[in-house]
Structure 1
């Protein structure tokens, strides 16, 4: 392994954590909102102060922002009893300021049956499918060696995509609105989950509730009770959001290493990959040109939380690849990307639902969240595992993709044939807004060591001849051809 790593050139732990605290202070950075724009602006300032040339791609999209949401059951004498709401369904639609009123009708488990729900408010249960992990990936290696991927996977992001209601079908059936019930999550785990984020603007306003409220609503639906659903939202056509990128020249400008993440996200960990990219940019920009073999391209894409409007048949980075072939495809005098490194969800601690005294409690397990790391071929896997040397906090499993399934923004690089290493942990609170996904669920030292690993990895990649870095390994054969975006 390349031994040139100099810890004195990496921004300090204090500096990295101050950047992370700033990410938390912005609040939810939903695609194109004020907080998201501010983050991108400040990232650019940091990069320029490091001496990097920055560039922006401006994109236009339809932006949807929820303003207020509420659910109540109508009782005798026009009395209304408020029902606790876990959160709103992003980009689902909006109601008038007074909300919509209608009879509740139970439409089964998601995606729901809406034939009897015209002019009514549908109630749909969303279960958490228990899927064999073998469907999604093949394990390459682990550190510590005893770590294994759970045999069965269950995740709220996947649940919302696979088992959530089909809003376009509901709207076509004349449904006024939908109440989605989290069947298998504790109330605390379900709170403020910004899910799903894989659908574009819809025309059927929907809210999420926990299983306790959901159980009551199911009973009320059987009794023909009426409810009022409020989801006020602003919609702006041709809203703007920027992808930011910077090129750090190396001696060989015809070969590039792409280092990417996204900038939009609802909490402190989703997405804090930009902190890792800043630290890496700080390290490599401090090196003289003579010590940088290949050019590095740092890409901070927008649109991960509105993939249907930004991506091209895949994650948001597909748009950037489409727009900038000169930096990666190796054709007609273009530079060739010899590797792609993706950082997402840094420093995460593990939180899980647990049965305690007949009730389900959502709490920290005392463990690090599992570092799921896609490695695009055996050589990239070897370089990553060597870069783990010296870690005091590590719980890393490297994965070979199966079929077309590759979670996160490393997927477009892999599908473009670029050898990849992509860090993509998936904590239960990944998409929870506010305090449900705050700094209390991150470990500063763990985060710093993850960044240090990727600096070492980038150094090793830079020192490895292109023929040894190899090509993207064909995906392992999977049992399904499902592409889940995250």
Structure 2
């Protein structure tokens, strides 16, 4: 893979900044990739999807928190939580405790709720094909933020005017700009996060019952649009069989999402070496606004699969997808909070690769062809009927065997710029996907393996394991 091309694409992402769903920056990236597809001589298809867009305030006066007349630093706004308008909301700070806050205690006030970014058993959520190399304990702000957000509808029903979530277990630098959570519907309850000294100050002020003003003047735009673009390269021997290569276009920084770099490079390779099977390249929109593109359990690719069964479902007059590749978060390096100093920054290592293979057969193929972050075999993760992170999940739910990279660094959803990508690692990962795609193109369909039916019993067992991992203090 051409290093100069990689650097140019990363520079473009840096210049664009966050590509939040449906934003002008997001549209420019989609146009850029569509142009790259067109330059390869393939037909570019486009799906225009409507939704209601919530825009993060950019002016300081539109995102602020004042407690007893003193300004308090906001780490981030809760995406799609709500809007206060320019006038903001005022009220007494009311501290609510416990995992199920009694929201009625903050009626006509501003609720203050602790959110702890504690380590959880990642192995309970993400399996490993190698029982001797399971995932251990990890902390990621997305998980506690999502769980905390589940209560905002009840807060609205209880007459709360606004919510301040106070981070614990995460530095102020790490918490700054975190665009979390991103999977919940519009909640009509303005909420923000504070961290570090600001969290200490807000919690203490709430204990004293001081008054506060919260301004989250987010613009809400009905009838906004986003675009999914995709292109297909026709197979020469088995065109009725397809391989889906997928990523998403909306993102927060240079790691989330840079998958288009791999997508276009693989498309360039396939055009130069015509495939036996038809290969479909999909740049899906809506990953950061999942409720706008699917009403069920899924990701942005769920919408494309629902809209285009002719490319994968295998019914009469339809092509059949034999496998897929999910290309996300390429070259991600590791950032951590230092437990001794509290400083947040790079560790000098690659972030542990979360690389899924949905069948034992594909796991063996990964062992043969993947060259990733570390020497030797890569830990290969196993999905379950409830959770497969990333855009490979919709393929798994449709029982399309897939291999998907979805490394999950702590800054993944941060709007703060950073040196998040190792170019050499990115190149090795894309080259690994290239080898995998070439092998998948020629192997018999039966050699991809089969995903078992997602029965209620399998889902219940998966949920039980996840819950046990959350409550087990040993994280086994």
TM-score, length of structure 1 as denominator length: 0.90
CA apart distance, 1:379: 1.2
1:179 and 2:164 equivalent? yes
Q: Structure 2 matches for 1:143-158, cutoff 5 A?
A: 148-158=133-143
Question: For residue 424 of structure 1, what is the aligned residue in structure 2?
Answer: 406
Contact 2:142–2:180 (CA under 8 A) maintained in structure 1: yes
Q: Structure 2 matches for 1:82-93, cutoff 5 A?
A: 82-93=71-82
- Higher strand residue share: 1
Q: Structure 2 matches for 1:274-423, cutoff 5 A?
A: 274-287=260-273, 289=274, 292-313=275-296, 314-356=298-340, 359-388=341-370, 396-423=378-405
Matches of 2:299 and 2:466, distance apart in 1 = 14
Question: For residue 139 of structure 1, what is the aligned residue in structure 2?
Answer: 128
1:37 and 2:30 equivalent? no
Residue among 202, 205, 213 paired with 2:198: 213
CA apart distance, 1:441: 1.7
Question: For residue 66 of structure 2, what is the aligned residue in structure 1?
Answer: 72
Matches of 2:23 and 2:288, distance apart in 1 = 12
Q: 1:389 to 1:443 in 2, by over 3 A?
A: closer
Gaps of 5+ in 1: 1-10, 75-79
Of 406-415 and 102-111, deviating more is: 102-111
Residue among 436, 443, 447 paired with 1:457: 436
SS in structure 2 at match of 1:29: coil
Contact 1:304–1:316 (CA under 8 A) maintained in structure 2: yes
Of 326-335 and 93-102, deviating more is: 93-102
- How many residues align? The count is 456
SS in structure 2 at match of 1:345: coil
| Superposed CA offset, 1:357-391 (max 9, x none) | xx411122221111111101111111122112598
Matches of 2:231 and 2:118, distance apart in 1 = 40
| Superposed CA offset, 1:23-70 (max 9, x none) | 222111110010001110111001100111110111100101022300
Contact 2:334–2:349 (CA under 8 A) maintained in structure 1: yes
Contact 1:110–1:126 (CA under 8 A) maintained in structure 2: no
Matches of 1:363 and 1:238, distance apart in 2 = 40
Matches of 1:190 and 1:13, distance apart in 2 = 32
Question: For residue 62 of structure 1, what is the aligned residue in structure 2?
Answer: 52
Question: For residue 83 of structure 2, what is the aligned residue in structure 1?
Answer: 94
Matches of 1:376 and 1:103, distance apart in 2 = 51
Question: For residue 3 of structure 1, what is the aligned residue in structure 2?
Answer: none
CA apart distance, 1:132: 2.1
| Superposed CA offset, 1:89-141 (max 9, x none) | 11111112132111100012455321211110000111124332332132124
Question: For residue 191 of structure 1, what is the aligned residue in structure 2?
Answer: 176
Of 152-161 and 423-432, deviating more is: 152-161
Contact 2:372–2:429 (CA under 8 A) maintained in structure 1: no
Question: For residue 124 of structure 1, what is the aligned residue in structure 2?
Answer: 113
Contact 1:372–1:396 (CA under 8 A) maintained in structure 2: no
Matches of 1:410 and 1:480, distance apart in 2 = 23
Matches of 1:99 and 1:15, distance apart in 2 = 46
Matches of 1:178 and 1:214, distance apart in 2 = 13
Contact 1:62–1:201 (CA under 8 A) maintained in structure 2: no
CA apart distance, 1:458: 0.2
Gaps of 5+ in 2: 468-476
Contact 1:114–1:173 (CA under 8 A) maintained in structure 2: yes
CA apart distance, 1:345: 0.6
1:15 and 2:15 equivalent? no
| Superposed CA offset, 1:232-267 (max 9, x none) | 111111111111111011112100000001111111
Matches of 2:167 and 2:375, distance apart in 1 = 33
Of 385-394 and 319-328, deviating more is: 385-394
Contact 1:394–1:446 (CA under 8 A) maintained in structure 2: no
Matches of 2:350 and 2:464, distance apart in 1 = 30
Matches of 1:370 and 1:201, distance apart in 2 = 32
Contact 1:141–1:398 (CA under 8 A) maintained in structure 2: yes
